Structure 1
Amino acid sequence: MPAKNILITGRPGVGKTTLIFRLIKQINLPCVGFYTAEIRESGRRTGFEAIALHGPKLIMSHVDIKSPYRVSKYSVDVANFEQFLKEIPFFDPKYAFIVIDEIGKMECFSPLFKKLILNLLDRNTPLIATIALRGDAFIESIKTRHDVRVYTVTYDNRDKLAMELYPVLKELAKGRNKEAN
């Protein structure tokens, strides 16, 4: 059986999130999950927000947050991130795909997030996620699972990769519909 979970990795700024949005638009099926976006103030990056595909958002990390969880100059608000995750209907069967952007160091400070990722990978609903190029043992273990296929985005292949992944996702959606019947 082919891998049902798609992981997209690559260097920061190469276009992983843009690729995720292109794929969601191409497949045109209901998706649930979240993505992350930079927060910019006066032209400089000051943090990151997590934005649910169905609306809610929160500041996940910021230079002004006080927290023991840090990545570079950003402190991570783990408690609010976990509350945000609880508001997303990941397990609603009406969704064809689950989208996570990203499985990275900031997100993995949350034990709830790590447990959620393992549960989502084990479900019948395919997961499309971005994942850090390099990471701790948890991140590396996700990449080596038998049920995932990892695609590396580069500046040279980022436009072609959306076309390459579209038939893969279409096949995954078809396979999921057969299981539901």
Structure 2
Amino acid sequence: MLDAGGLSGRAFRFHGAQFAAVSPPRVLLTGPPGSGKTTAIRRTIALLPGLPMAGFYTEEVRGRTGRTGFRIVTLDGRVARLATVGAAGGPRVGRYTVHVAELEAALSQLEPSPHVGLLVVDEIGKMECLSPAFVAAARRALGSAVPFLGTVALLGGGFIAEAKRLPGVLVLPVSSERRDSLPAELAARFRSPST
């Protein structure tokens, strides 16, 4: 694992040796909830028009009482439930029931292909890791020759910890100092994956 966490935000540059050493680029953004990981993923995707991508990101679902769950949005436009407050039947993480079958229906998006220039996974977290099929698909994606951009929970064992230790994976903490410049730097690297 290459970890940029010990470097100051201003000193660390993606076109420097650490990021260039990751080939194909495999980047996992990490940080506490609300740090801007998903926002950085979505902004990076928006800066890469024309690059064939596959995968998904997650969004909060909000109601009158606040957050009521999470949904998966695939890069080909499909939407599925990931977790819902108070739903019956299924494993739970905190107050959320996780919809494992709906997550697994989106996993075809994670198959590495020579026609895909970037695989996106937001996020490798406790909810997603309740699915052995998700873990297997994410492991294959991270080990493939296709560039990878994802997020990973700050804390956790099992595959969360394993993903951070995989060879050739750069784990990059998202901080308030780097949050705004991060998407452009990531996009520049994914536009030129062999440099």
Q: 1:154 aligns with which of 138, 161, 175?
A: 175
- Once the two structures are superposed, residues 117-169 of structure 1 have per-residue CA deviations (whole angstroms, 9 ceiling, x without a partner) of 11101111111001101111321111111210011101222012223323322
Q: Is the alpha carbon distance of 1:63 and 1:83 closer, same or farther for their aligned partners in structure 2, counting shifts above 3 Å? A: same
Which blocks of at least 5 consecutive residues in structure 1 are unaligned? 176-181
Decide which moves more: 14-23 or 65-74: 65-74
Alignment partner of 1:118 is 2:113 = no
- After TM superposition, where is structure 1 displaced by more than 6 Å over at least 4 residues in a row? none
Gaps of 5+ in 2: 1-19
Superposition TM-score, scaled by structure 1 size: 0.88
Decide whether the 8 Å contact of 2:45 with 2:187 is kept in 1.
no
Aligned ranges for residues 1-181 of structure 1 at < 5 Å? 2-3=21-22, 4-28=25-49, 29-86=51-108, 88=109, 90-172=111-193, 174=194
Assess, with a 3 A threshold, how the Cα gap between structure 1 residues 32 and 156 changes in structure 2: closer, same or farther: same
Which is worse superposed, 154-163 or 107-116?
Answer: 154-163
With over 3 angstroms needed to count, the CA separation of the structure-2 counterparts of 1:105 and 1:171, relative to structure 1, is same
Does the aligned pair in 1 maintain the 2:26–2:148 contact within 8 Å? yes
Name the Cα RMSD after superposition: 1.7
- Aligned-residue sequence identity (percent) comes to 38
